[in-house]
Amino acid sequence: MLKNYLKVAFKVLGRNKFYTFISLFGISFTLMVLMLTIAFIQNELGANKPLSQKEKILLVPGLRMEGYAREEIVEIDSTMVDGAWKYDTTKTENILEDQINSTSNSWVGNKFYENHIKDIKTAALTSVFSPMQSIDVFPNDRKLTLTTNATDANYWRIFDFEFVEGQPFSDAAIENQAFQAIMSKSAAQQYFGKKASYLGEVVTWGKLQFEITGIVKDINTSIPHLKHDIFIPYTHLPPSLLDYGWGQFGNMQLALLGSSSKQLETIRSDFRFIEENFEVQEEGYDKLTIKERTIEELYANNVLQNQERGSDKTLRWIVLVALLLFILIPTINLINLNSTRIMERSAEIGVRKAFGAHTGNLMSQFLLENVVLTGLGGLIGLGLTFFAMNWLNNSVWMENTQLAFNPNIFIYSLIVVLLFGICSGLIPAWRMSKMDVAKAIKRNQL
Amino acid sequence: MIKLQDVTKVYRTDTVETLALNNINLSVEDGEFVSIMGPSGCGKSTLLNMMGLLDRPSDGQVTIDEKELKGYKEKALAKFRNEHLGFIFQSFHLIGDLPVVDNVELPLLYRGTSAKERKRLAEEALEAVGLKNRMKHYPSQLSGGQKQRVAIARAIVGKPSIILADEPTGNLDSNLGNEVMDILLSLNRDRKATIVMVTHDENMALKTNRIIRLYDGSLVN
Ligand SMILES: Nc1ncnc2c1ncn2[C@@H]1O[C@H](COP(=O)(O)OP(=O)(O)O)[C@@H](O)[C@H]1O
Ligand SMILES: [Mg+2]
Contact residues on chain B for A12, CB-CB shorter than 8 A: 97
Contact residues on chain A for B75, CB-CB shorter than 8 A: 358-360
Q: Relative to the CA of B217, which ligand 1 atom is closest?
A: 14
Whole-prediction pTM = 0.70
Q: Are residues A439 and A320 in the same domain?
A: yes
Q: Are residues A234 and A318 in the same domain?
A: no
| Domain end residue (candidates: A239, A270, A301) | A239
Chain-chain contact of A8 with B95 (C-beta, under 8 angstroms)? yes
Chain-chain contact of B55 with A441 (C-beta, under 8 angstroms)? no
| Domain end residue (candidates: A187, A219, A239) | A239
Q: Are residues A229 and A324 in the same domain?
A: no
Q: Are residues A25 and A145 in the same domain?
A: no
Residue at A281 is within a domain: no
Residue at A195 is within a domain: yes
Cβ B215 under 6 angstroms from ligand 1: no
Residue at A131 is within a domain: yes
Q: Are residues A232 and A323 in the same domain?
A: no
Find the closest chain A residue to B77 by CA distance. A356
Closest Cβ–Cβ partner in B79, B87, B102 for A354: B87
Residue at A27 is within a domain: yes
| Domain end residue (candidates: A239, A271, A289) | A239
Domain extent for A138: 125-239
Cβ B41 under 6 angstroms from ligand 1: yes
Q: Are residues A41 and A142 in the same domain?
A: no
Find the closest chain A residue to B53 by CA distance. A354
Question: Per-residue pLDDT for chain A (446 aa), expressed as one digit of tens each?
Answer: 788 788 888 887 887 788 888 888 888 888 888 888 878 877 777 667 888 898 899 999 999 999 998 888 888 888 888 878 888 888 888 888 888 889 999 999 999 999 999 999 999 999 999 987 888 999 888 999 999 999 999 999 999 999 999 999 999 999 999 999 999 999 999 999 999 999 999 999 888 999 999 999 988 766 667 889 999 999 999 999 999 999 899 999 999 999 998 999 999 999 999 999 999 999 889 999 999 999 888 888 888 888 888 888 888 888 888 888 887 777 787 788 778 877 788 888 899 999 999 988 988 888 888 888 888 888 898 899 889 988 888 876 666 667 777 667 677 777 877 787 777 777 877 887 777 777 777 754 44
**Domains defined along chain B, listed by start:** 31-42+73-220 (3.40.50.300)
Cβ B15 under 6 angstroms from ligand 1: no
Residue at A73 is within a domain: no
Number of compact structural domains in chain A: 2
Residue at A67 is within a domain: no
Cβ B42 under 6 angstroms from ligand 1: yes
Residue at A69 is within a domain: no
Q: Are residues A223 and A332 in the same domain?
A: no
Chains A–B, number of C-beta pairs less than 8 Å apart: 86
Here the ipTM equals 0.95
Rounded CA-CA distance A21/A380 in Å is 11
Residue at A197 is within a domain: yes
Q: Are residues A133 and A43 in the same domain?
A: no
Ligand nearest to the CA of B89: 2
